Amino acid sequence: MINKSINNCLILSIVLLFACCSGVKSQSVKSSDAQTSRPNIIVVMTDDMGYADVGFNGSKDIITPEIDKLANGGTICTSAYVAHSFCGPSRAALLTGRYPHEFGSQFNLPANSEESVGEGIPLSEKFLSSVLQESGYRTGVIGKWHLGAVEGYEPKDRGFDDFYGFLGGGHNYFPEDYVTKYNQQKAAGNKHIWEYLTPLQRNGVEVEEDEYLTDELSDDAVRFVSDSSKNDKPFFLYLAYNAPHTPLEAKEDDMQKFDHIKDKARRTYAAMVYAVDRGVGELVAALKATNQYDNTLIVFLSDNGGRTDQGANNYPLKGVKGDTYEGGFRVPMFFHWPNKIPAGKKFDYPVTALDFYPTFASIANAKIPQDKQLDGKNILNDLVKGENPRKGEMIFAMRHRNGFSDVGVREDEWKATKAYNSPWKLYNINKDMGETTDLSKQNPEQLKSMVLGAQMWSKKHTEPRWFDPESLREIWKEKKMGEFINTFKISN
């Protein structure tokens, strides 16, 4: 290992010093350029955050003042979706602009995938980061990767200039705990150490950490922003927090702020979200200190719905992480870009993380390869005007279970859901966010049209490249799950 080359406390002190010296213009980014140059783009993604676990989406017991300032200063997307209801496929969709089912990545890469799988998201899929990098952006990813942990599939191979974080699907939070366990297992000759304990890395080199993981990632985001201010290039930063994903581990100081929450899991979860909020505040301070704030688009979202058995709250949505009910893949989201995105607005039409690829590429004047397939669309103008970007068009979710598949379809005010091997049901999701009143009998043609749309979409799917858990491989073959034999049948 090597020691971190940057003293985080020093960075934050310098950032705050610049912020206070408002009379001195940054030499790295001219204020006159801020309104004319291509914008910086930041995606802040949390992990397993519930729909109602931020103030701007109605949280009553978790306070998120820094995140809320950005949300209320921008446009909140109340009907925002991701392309899958759990981690890896959702992230793959964001960076490829395609449903992961269409290139065999509809399951999470299993833990320690470098040993069991030996690959990642297919190299035939050009990442958004590569398109932005080729257009002249400085690109960075901080935090959770989960898209390939072997040579050829790592961030540096997928269009990122700078990487700090971990390659697997999760990580423990306190280095005094996980570093000790890692070293003990390594000393004992264990060659198969749980990925949640492995050292973080910076561009392929293991790094010795000394801070709570969320704070560590936030500090590095400040470093990236500060370094980028000295560069003539605009930047793209993908800040992929691990929090509030399990294990539920929070700092004692943060826990004390939520003494009013009696349930320990919820209290710990709240403290983990609060640490993310603190980091977002530090990121904004760094942008302002380096005169980059006004020319930066910030998009915030979760990778999927929350786990209510691990402290999350998806109210008023039905379902949890992994479901095709709204609670599985409808997420908190906002767009913030001063003087470009309307402030103090709510956007109620359906949008999806699949839209990021074409939207960001357009904003960056980046060239998308002619043969690149995309499932989203450029929503910027509609977002600004408050108009529906996909009237009459559908967005989908599908999750494979033990021998059957769940499906969710959204079209305008309608939501069709097939979950847990139950019959298809139809909801007016604008009036019934909790999916409580089935309207399929009253609107049979609407349901039929949406189920047919999902069936046509399924014909684009390919066989999974890996399975998680591995036991599903035999079930997939035995049950002929790829043929969707009963998935699109509507009960009378």
pLDDT tens sequence across 354-381: 999 999 999 999 999 999 999 999 999 9
- Amino acid of residue 346: K
pLDDT at 491: 87
The phi, psi pair for 289, rounded to 5°, reads: -65, -30
Residue 48 reports pLDDT greater than 80: yes
Distance of CA 185 to the CA centre of its chain: 31
Task: Give the pLDDT mean for 209-214.
Answer: 95
pLDDT tens sequence across 120-162: 999 999 999 999 999 999 999 999 999 999 999 999 999 999 9
Residue from 381, 103, 92 nearest 238 by CA: 92
Please say if 336 is a catalytic residue. Answer: no
Residue 33 reports pLDDT greater than 70: no
The phi, psi pair for 141, rounded to 5°, reads: -130, 135
In order of their start, the domains of the chain are 38-385 (3.40.720.10), 394-483 (3.30.1120.10)
Please say if 87 is a catalytic residue. Answer: yes
DSSP state of 81: E
pLDDT tens sequence across 446-475: 999 999 999 999 999 999 999 999 999 999
- Please check whether residue 61 is in contact with residue 258, taking contact to mean a CB–CB distance below 8 angstroms: yes
Task: Give the pLDDT mean for 209-213.
Answer: 95
Residue from 20, 22, 3 nearest 12 by CA: 20
In what helix (H) or strand (E) does residue 300 lie, and over which residues does it extend?
Answer: strand 296-302
The pTM for the full model equals 0.93
pLDDT tens sequence across 237-271: 999 999 999 999 999 999 999 999 999 999 999 99
Residue from 284, 286, 223 nearest 4 by CA: 223
In the set 101, 146, 171, 461, the catalytic residue is 146
pLDDT tens sequence across 183-192: 999 999 999 9
For the chain, percent of residues with pLDDT exceeding 90: 91
Which of the two residues, 31 and 440, has the higher pLDDT score?
A: 440
Residue 323 reports pLDDT greater than 70: yes
- Please check whether residue 253 is in contact with residue 242, taking contact to mean a CB–CB distance below 8 angstroms: no
What band does 32 get if pLDDT is binned at 50, 70 and 90? very low
**Mean pLDDT of all residues in the chain?**
93
pLDDT at 223: 98
Residue 9 reports pLDDT greater than 90: no
Kindly report which listed range (202-211, 309-318, 425-434, 441-450) carries the lowest average pLDDT score. 202-211
Kindly report which listed range (15-29, 124-138, 205-219, 337-351) carries the lowest average pLDDT score. 15-29
pLDDT at 16: 42
pLDDT at 37: 84
pLDDT at 8: 44
Listing DSSP states for 195-245 in one string gives GGGSPPEETTEEEE--S-HHHHHHHHHHHHHHHHTTSSS-EEEEEE--TTS
pLDDT at 21: 39
Task: Give the pLDDT mean for 275-283.
Answer: 98
Task: Give the pLDDT mean for 423-443.
Answer: 98
Strands (E), 1-72: 2-3, 40-46
